[in-house]
Structure 1
């Protein structure tokens, strides 16, 4: 059931001669609506919230010119990016006006020309937003002409936000003589990274690179400022805790730089001083093991902090048996049965298993060979499942079968198709059908509706009535359709994975996040996707929450390279880029993640999204990596979510991804074990 549906301020008054500075207008396009596996979902444009000018004041001699630079800022506080087509939208065009053209004029490109002594204001407008720079013009002729200006230092690094550095400039005339008390205008080409005042005092604002420019007349020079955030301190909260044997407490670690500003996205290594007393997970969850005292350390590189844990006797009772009120349906593809035979499935963790899958053909017949649903494998699976009290459903469909579904469910072929899939179900003793029509478009809804209604009517003729379930792509557009069809369906399972990708306007984000935390894409007013968000959208549309399930991914997605993020390439969630990273086209199974990629020093836990990730910040950017996946802790959060939100249950794609055949018996299915323990 693999889802392919994606989805300046300037300086103080100071004189200057002619200068040419490139005007940068940042624009953004709304994301296009996405077809399966191609582009990201559609988002509306963000309006202009602010216009930042490169200089708030201009001190000019008559005859001087000065190029003003305007940057458009969106409501998210980020510069707007240009449309991919390169065409400026009318509301993003900047209009320049002068309050007194006799004193200064301004061109359509923002070039200010000093005409005579006096004061005037220059206004930049876009849409309903404007910003003003004030000009003072002196008369009486020119001073010594600046021929060259040199900024010192020409390159510098600040390792904390809010740090300051003083830059200076030396101005020479055409004869190479130093000009005394020259007029210098300071500006920054990226005020979101660093600001500079009229004296050359620079303050770091955000991780990145900024050019600090000094101009005097027609002469200009820049200094390159690199802004980093090095971890200077770590704190752990709570710093002390007492818990009983078997109970747990979550510790939270926070890293700050030298100025006390929080460093985002830091991966912590958690260590327990005495594992016989307390155990700690990679996400900072401490569980009492035995009576005594232990120290828990959270380390970010060489910087660390500790919490004192006291474990006392008592504690909670063993976890109860899995609740039958929450279904746990694991997908089991026919092609994995040679690697993970049915005898290796931990049946106690599941209530249903979906045998994946037969494929529709356009003429209404079905394909049982492509996904290796042999009769022998089918008999073995169903006999073992029924012996364990687990129901087995036959999945019909897969990613990339839209065309085949349209043909098979046409008026000409629909009756034959229903007869074939119901006949296959009855022949082998399946307990129901699971429909996986992926990449379904809104134009397909009427045909899908008739198909489900007629299939349900056919199943109603059988006693006991077989189950009928559907796997649904992660988009709210399907909510009204399934609201109307819910009387015919026993489960409506939302495929809450494959929820991110390196699409235009996006950020690095998790493959299967539980929550979004309200985080919005920097260039839009749309919230990043999450399972919780999708559940709320379906419930708001009128879908019975007891019929909804969310997905658990026994696999991850690997982002690689890119450029222009806060660390160079893609290394952690919520990073924007200038050059898009790439994403693995296939799934990185959980067992491969643990065998080939996992490194405790690279581990990170997103406590907002409730999922883990691995961060690899390598030299350069092309080899940077961000691996989003699920582990025992994230699985447990989804189980608890299903219980507290009173939704119907969970689906797993796919159970083979969490199987370790060489481990000792009883420890080969750690993610399924985590589901049982959470229940």
Structure 2
């Protein structure tokens, strides 16, 4: 995905000459679910059909109206209202001490308002502190099994979920200790498993392919699927009603079928730098639910495998964006669809850390540190990549869910041709002008300066990315054929093997 600072320039040049101009909006490389998983042990654990019964009183905890209202403990049998989905943030097996989210049938989260001190409800669309609980076994530690007695403790205040008198009425979140009213017998875990990986157990290689270089069907013979795990098709934007537009369905089907035949996952990538005008209006209150449904429908109808979110407008994100992502994950994850995001330090203030950590994986746009909006400089150095990776580790994102973005393009300053004093240039076009450019990251010639990544830097970044969750490419169209020993994708593949 392209950095929004350079979006308008690129949109003018790309969209003026290429079809599908309504979908043009650059994005910089984006965003385990499990659809992109590395080690299953660190993947999110999703368990559906879980019930809790009070030890004292023998009443099942239920979400009134299957969500949207109070949590009660009145039922003597476990019906729909009394069955929940646990999303274990820690992954692996469900163990005593793990932090979890609990959702009712509507997809709404259990919430201890103000962190506890009042009645519990199942009416939240957020994944913030008030919705986070710690599940604790009454005795012992380790894996939790059916029949174990557990307690649910609010993470923010340490209060315990309490069914007063053992049940018969409203459930509260102000228990001061793990006592009789707080003891719950858990059941329904037999069907709970870590969602199986939907990609091979290999390092992720995520490539973006924009829709302004011709039909996706025309790329089937040019994309080397054997060296990729995911392709993100860029960019899906909303029409006047918030329904996604990307490419004709027959065109998408040809590409998706070819990718699937090679074991490669295909995601639509939403928004892109500069495309926020056709995405952000639809995740506002009153429109967000329908928009999430449109996204899921688009993925299902086009036989795709997940959703990449590349909103690069931090001033148009905030709480409404956090709610949007929570609702999208709530609808996508039970269907096995990962939700990923393209992120960068410059825009990170636009989302909460809880939302950041909720994605199945993130792709760091570690490029555009210089561009047409600046003077000449390194736009994507190795050291900048190291700094970006460390930033997201310090944000609490698991290393194997952090994917490093790399550029298959560069920037020119000075005598860039066609009367331009600065421009965005594909790697293959730099090589066309300077055949030895693959052996460097910087060129000064004929009154022009170019910053990009050559083969040596790309190999070093791939080796670095292997220590994390993989590597992402903006954009596949910038490379030579992998039959060439100057191909960046070929260099990446060789370093990952």
1:584 counterpart (387, 406, 422): 422
TM-score (norm 1): 0.41
2:313 alignment partner in structure 1: 439
Matched-pair contact (CA < 8 Å) for 2:463–2:495 = yes
> Do the aligned partners of residues 641 and 583 (structure 1) sit closer, same or farther apart at CA in structure 2, a change above 3 Å counting?
farther
Q: Distance in 2 between matches of 1:494 and 1:582?
A: 29
The yes-or-no answer on 1:631 pairing with 2:454 is yes
> Structure 1 residue aligned with 2:387, among 533, 545, 558?
533
In structure 1, the residue corresponding to 2:274 is in which secondary structure?
coil
- Which residue of structure 2 lines up, in the alignment, with residue 194 of structure 1? none
CA contact (8 A) 1:361 1:407 kept: no
Deviations, residues 295-335 of structure 1 (Å, cap 9, x unaligned):
xxxxxxxxxxxxxxxxxxxxxxxxxxx99442110011233
Q: Residues 401 and 341 of structure 1: is their aligned pair in 2 closer, same or farther, counting only changes over 3 Å?
A: closer
Task: Write the mapping of 1:135-534 to structure 2, written as runs, cut at 5 A.
Answer: 324-338=201-215, 341-361=219-239, 363-368=241-246, 373-441=247-315, 444-462=317-335, 465-475=336-346, 478=348, 481=351, 483-501=353-371, 508-515=376-383, 530-534=384-388
Task: State whether residues 494 and 551 of structure 1, in contact with CA within 8 Å, keep that contact through their aligned partners in structure 2.
Answer: yes
- The SS at the match of 2:351 is helix
Which residue number corresponds to residue 480 of structure 2?
A: 659
2:430: which partner in 1? 593
Asked if residue 673 in structure 1 is aligned to residue 477 in structure 2, the reply is: no
How far residue 652 of structure 1 moved from its aligned partner, in angstroms, is: 0.5
TM-superposed deviation, 1:437: 0.7
* d(CA) in 1 for partners of 2:396, 2:240: 33
1:494 and 1:348 map into 2 onto residues whose CA distance is 23
SS at match of 2:405: strand
Bigger radius of gyration, 1 or 2? 1
Structure-2 separation of matches of 1:584 and 1:548: 32
Partner Cα separation in structure 2 for residue 344 and residue 507 of structure 1: 34
Is contact 2:268–2:307 with CA below 8 Å preserved after alignment?
A: yes
Quick one: distance in 2 between partners of 1:551 and 1:583? 27
C-alpha distance in 2 between matches for 1:362 and 1:401: 14
Q: Distance in 2 between matches of 1:338 and 1:424?
A: 18
CA distance in 1, matches of 2:372, 2:236: 31
Tell me if the contact between 1:557 and 1:584 (Cα under 8 Å) persists in the aligned partners: yes
Contact 1:479-1:543 at 8 Å conserved across structures: no
1:468, CA displacement in angstroms?
0.7
CA separation in 2, counterparts of 1:427 and 1:382? 12
Q: Distance in 2 between matches of 1:6 and 1:409?
A: 24
Separation in 2, partners of 1:356, 1:404: 13
* Residue of structure 2 in register with 1:243 after alignment: none
- Local SS of the residue matching 2:458: helix
CA distance in 2, matches of 1:589, 1:6: 14
Q: Is the 8 A contact 1:402 1:440 kept in 2?
A: no
Alpha-carbon RMSD across the aligned residues, in angstroms, is 3.1
Shift of 1:445: 1.4
2:334 aligned counterpart, secondary structure: coil
Gaps of 5+ in 1: 8-35, 38-321, 516-529, 562-569, 571-580, 606-611, 619-623
Deviation (angstroms), 1:374:
1.8
Counterparts of 1:361 and 1:508, CA distance in 2: 38
Which whole-Å deviations, capped at 9, do the CAs of 1:487-534 have from their partners, x for residues lacking one?
53111111112111366xx7632121121xxxxxxxxxxxxxx12212
Q: Deviations over 1:46-86 (max 9, x none)?
A: xxxxxxxxxxxxxxxxxxxxxxxxxxxxxxxxxxxxxxxxx
Offset at 1:604?
7.4
Normalized per residue, the structure richer in helix is 2
**Contact 2:439–2:454 (CA<8 Å) still a contact in 1?**
no
- The answer to whether the 8 A contact 1:560-1:583 is kept is yes
Distance 2:291 2:257 in 1: 26
Distance 1:388 1:479, change over 3 A: farther
Higher strand share: 1
Shift of 1:481: 3.3
* Inter-partner Cα distance in structure 2 for 1:583 and 1:532: 30
Alpha-carbon separation, structure 1, partners of 2:485 and 2:233: 21
- Whole-Å Cα distance in 1 between the matches of residues 326 and 257 of structure 2? 30
Change in CA separation of 1:335 and 1:582 when aligned onto 2, cut-off 3 Å: closer
CA distance in structure 2 between the aligned counterparts of 1:630 and 1:397, rounded to whole angstroms? 26
* Cα separation, 2, equivalents of 1:596 and 1:323: 38
Given the superposition, is the C-alpha separation of residues 455 and 338 from structure 1 closer, same or farther in structure 2, using an over 3 Å criterion?
Answer: closer
The CA deviation at 1:362 is 6.0
Contact 1:330–1:655 (CA under 8 A) maintained in structure 2: yes
Going from structure 1 to structure 2, the CA distance change for 1:583 and 1:416 (only over 3 Å counts) comes to farther
Other-structure match for 2:409: 555
2: CA distance, partners of 1:582 / 1:499: 20
- Relative distance call for 1:381 and 1:459 in structure 2 (3 A) is same
Q: Give the structure, 1 or 2, with the largest relative contact order (CA under 8 Å, sep 6 or more).
A: 2
Q: TM-score, normalised by structure 2?
A: 0.56
Distance in 2 between residues matched to 1:466 and 1:485, nearest whole Å: 17
CA distance in 2, matches of 1:544, 1:509: 31
Structure 2 Cα separation of the partners of residues 555 and 429 of structure 1: 30
SS in 1 for 2:293: helix
Structure 2 gap ranges (5+): 8-24, 27-198
Deviation at 1:486, TM superposition (A): 4.2
* 1:27-176 paired onto structure 2 within 5 Å: none
